[in-house]
Structure 1
């Protein structure tokens, strides 16, 4: 049974957001790029996404055997063998054609499949293009065939083209002009790290304002790419949903924290004692109090250490073993360690969003955000801030409350992070006052400075309350 609404998809969220209306009822899509850029993976993703929705796909390959193709795609969680068993996919291995006159034979053979397989992928179109480049009559016949499939037969036709390494000009002749969508996949090196982009070079009758989309190839997942929210869908904080802190004093000073809002916590860079982690642990206790699924992305510490800090704190404060707290942590909290020095800024951005997609938390704690800021934000601060802002909007749109913990680097960095947060918590000491103080500010509240003991007491109350519950 062929699905009807919408007819076709591209299988990559960001591309469907931008180009969905272009390919909805048939289109000719040209995917070009240098070797290793991800062209075959993108074409296969389009094929798989539509076949999985009940729209049969014919995959014509001039490059690899069916067995190799199937094995490679299983690495990205695409089981074409299962689709083949349901008669939703057919792999058509085609030898390299040396005689231009055989093009008519190829067209006739593909035509026999066109009524059933409404998605056609040709990987790669480049050998065919080179074969017919000097034969204008056969070139016109082949191009008209693909164009008519898309426009008259209302099919989705995807052509993959190889561009020599180091080149970006397509030089594919008329096929570029008759295509409805032209995507160029490119990869570049920055600080020795790979960054991948999809350039949208053409999108017929689509008001495209974003011409370049970063993407990441993830093992067992495939292509992931995310767009910042558009202005017309700019999310507002979910005012109707909020979470109270685990103690009265913080609720009086800050008020409840709204779902989708962002908190920035600054701790002294040169005095990182156990006390400095209390604000993060209070955020974690807030999540446990309201039974919020929580993801901790930690940039400096090994997995579970953030959780261990809370459990160790509880062990010191509670005279008995707190199995209830351990159970809550195990059920609600996940920790992911991310080394931002191993990824480009674009890959880091995509990776973090993918982690949120996978875990689907209601609370996200980012520990030591000064690390990625120093790695990626020094040379290109405007670019880093743009990605940070778009990421926060993406989280807000999905109702994810974000707590960003940083060491205090300098006043400029502190003010920049504070300017995009709804709640600010800063721990500090002065020469006159060696005891730790905490500056608190929340949107629509008057800033206030409190003693550290107030925050510590808040955490104590939560730990005692949970650990005193009867089993």
Structure 2
């Protein structure tokens, strides 16, 4: 039967299952290679746990780690294998004492017998690197790996993960034949970027599965290894319909629109962000996220507190948070952003000081993160404001400045905040009147009472 007609299984790894949509063909053999500490064992644990917990008995064969260490490490990520062991849904096969090729052959035969006796539907071999080292003779190792494991497991219909060690800095698996025989190859890597370990996975192949993204960031979370979900461009709105639009001064903002506000580096954007964007949005009942890379959460809440009773009873619509750009990896930033957007479902997001995230990451990493974030939020109908410190003459050197729907410039002139348009709805605009101006002395109450912030327009479907 071809792969199109085979049953499919989910791996149990958040984000990665979204990438494969319906899962991988049952009976696939997937090679998971990676650097030391990249998360291979954690990912394999998630695979085994998901199977055992959902009625697919799982066998974990380890040549490298005692059972108790494995159980304790898995528990730290919320996976308790002990009850599953108790009811026969999971078995940990410890093969640490194997020391010669003859004993290795016996162990492999015993493993296949264990698969039969427990009816295992998922098998993990940790690791094929250890098997090769124990076999000593490369031809003998290939014979064991191909005949006993590949053919043995495939004939039994077990979906299997084979773990392989990849020396740090190596670009390909040193195992050789396994990478070509396996149905799928996932390589977990990391690189050091400004004192941070940026983790990313390469999906080399996955037979019977359409994989649109060959490389993805990932991070360790409380659930183990986790990937941001892949983008689905087909989910993007057409832009022809919307139920609510907002006005910022003379500029109309619609759901899903991304706006970049560049500001003079001498300006602290907190007053503008809080008084002209966040507070008016909250006062109007919009669910709002307010984040900053340059101010702490206490500072954000203190500046909003000056709005007094105008926000009373509506602060449950506000999430204020601060970020530490020097320690947050791209994978962590994307997962945190996605989880917050998914759980809180904001109408509006304001993030100030995002240039610091650029300073602590490579250009490619930063650009990929912001692009994916904007695209995902567009599909969710979330209005996004990013505030980025930059001289005016460097506006078009800012990453993705030509991708945002709107690009504005914020500066101070004659003791007044001035916000001028540079690009609106993707088109450059000639010099014209500012979108808005405001006194530096104005407080939150006067701005809200005077209508200087947002105005909500109810727009009927199909109407301009």
Fold agreement, TM-score > 0.5:
yes
- Give the aligned partner of residue 26 of structure 1: 27
* 1:64 to partner: Cα distance: 2.4
* Cα separation, 1, equivalents of 2:90 and 2:137: 34
SS at match of 1:79: coil
What's the CA shift string for 1:294-314, capped at 9, x where partnerless? 3333211112422331221x2
Determine the C-alpha separation between the residues in 1 that align with 2:167 and 2:401.
Answer: 47
Matched, 1:297 2:291: yes
SS in 2 for 1:270: coil
Structural mapping, 1:93-112, within 5 Å: 93-112=94-113
Alpha-carbon distance between aligned partners in 1 of 2:419 and 2:202, rounded to the nearest angstrom: 47
Alignment-derived partner of residue 305 in structure 2: 311
What TM-score, normalized by structure 2, do the two folds share? 0.80
Residue 161 to residue 174, structure 1, CA distance change in 2 (3 Å): same
> 1:404: how far off?
1.4
Rounded to whole Å, the distance in 1 between the matches of 2:35 and 2:249 is: 58
Does 2:218 align with 1:221? no
1:452 corresponds to: 438
How many Å apart are 1:461 and its aligned residue? Answer: 5.5
1:196: how far off? 1.6
Which of these residues, 105, 119, 122, is aligned with residue 119 of structure 1? 122
- Kept in 1, the 8 Å contact 2:263–2:269? The answer is no
* 1:215 and 1:223 in contact (8 A); partners too: yes
SS in 1 for 2:148: helix
Where does residue 235 of structure 1 map in the other structure? 236
Partner in structure 1 of residue 280 of structure 2:
285
**Residue matched to 1:328:** 314
Structure 2 CA distance for aligned equivalents of residues 382 and 160 of structure 1: 29
User: Is 1:340 matched up with 2:329?
Assistant: no
Per-residue CA shift, 1:390-421, capped at 9, x if unaligned? 22112222333212123343333367565333
C-alpha distance 200-359 of structure 1, shift in aligned 2 (>3 A): same
* Secondary structure in 2 matching 1:64: coil
Asked if the contact 2:84–2:90 (Cα under 8 Å) also holds between the matched residues in 1, the reply is yes
Alignment of 1:34-433 (within 5 A): 34-85=35-86, 87-115=88-116, 116-134=119-137, 136=139, 139-204=142-207, 206=209, 208=211, 210-218=213-221, 220-226=222-228, 229=231, 233=234, 235-236=236-237, 240-245=241-246, 250=247, 253-255=250-252, 257-272=253-268, 275-278=271-274, 281-292=276-287, 294-312=288-306, 314-315=307-308, 322=309, 325-329=311-315, 331-345=316-330, 347-357=332-342, 359-376=344-361, 381=363, 384-413=366-395, 416=398, 418-430=401-413
CA distance in 2, matches of 1:308, 1:455: 13
Cα–Cα, structure 1 residues 182 and 215, in superposed 2: closer, same or farther, change >3 Å? same
> In structure 1, how many angstroms separate the alpha carbons of the residues matched to 2:23 and 2:150?
14
Deviates more, 1:73-82 or 1:406-415: 406-415
Displacement of 1:57 in angstroms is: 1.5
- Provide the C-alpha distance between the structure 2 equivalents of 1:175 and 1:434, rounded to a whole number of angstroms: 68
CA contact (8 A) 2:19 2:229 kept: no
**Contact residue 428 and residue 438 of structure 1 kept, 8 A:** yes
Equivalent residues, number:
438
Question: Is 2:442 aligned against 1:439?
Answer: no
- In the superposition, the TM-score normalised over structure 1's length comes to 0.79
Cα separation, 1, equivalents of 2:81 and 2:353: 42
Aligned pair in 2 of structure 1 residues 33, 298: CA closer, same or farther (>3 Å)?
same
Q: Secondary structure at the match of 2:161?
A: strand
* TM-superposition CA deviations, 1:273-325 (whole Å, max 9, x none): 8643455x533432452342x3333211112422331221x23xxxxxx2x83
Unaligned runs of 5+ in 1: 316-321, 465-471
Tell whether the 8 Å contact from 1:28 to 1:156 is kept in structure 2 after alignment. Answer: yes
State the shift of 1:328 in Å.
2.1
In terms of fraction of residues, the more helix-rich structure is 1
